[in-house]
Amino acid sequence: MTEYRIRKETYGNTTKYYPQQKRLFWWFNIFAFDVYFDGGYDTLEKAQKQLCNYLRKPVVELIEFDPERDCK
């Protein structure tokens, strides 16, 4: 089973929160995929919200094709 956590790092007066996922034996910052974004958030609430959105299952809806709808 995959494990998740939020890592809190404090540098003087600055605090960053990093949502992380454990893969094998190491923890990785989930959202550190961009060169200009290290995956850290300014507040715990922002980090928590992003992690919840990441873990949420997508809602899939299948819509039947109807040629009468917009094919005029």
1-34 per-position pLDDT tens digit? 469 999 999 989 989 999 999 988 899 888 887 6
Mean pLDDT, rounded, of the chain: 84
Mean pLDDT over residues 30-45, rounded? 82
**Which two tokens mark 42?**
């300014």
Cα–Cα distance measured from residue 25 to residue 9, given in angstroms and rounded to the nearest whole number: 20
Give the model's confidence band at 45: pLDDT under 50 very low, under 70 low, under 90 confident, else very high: very high
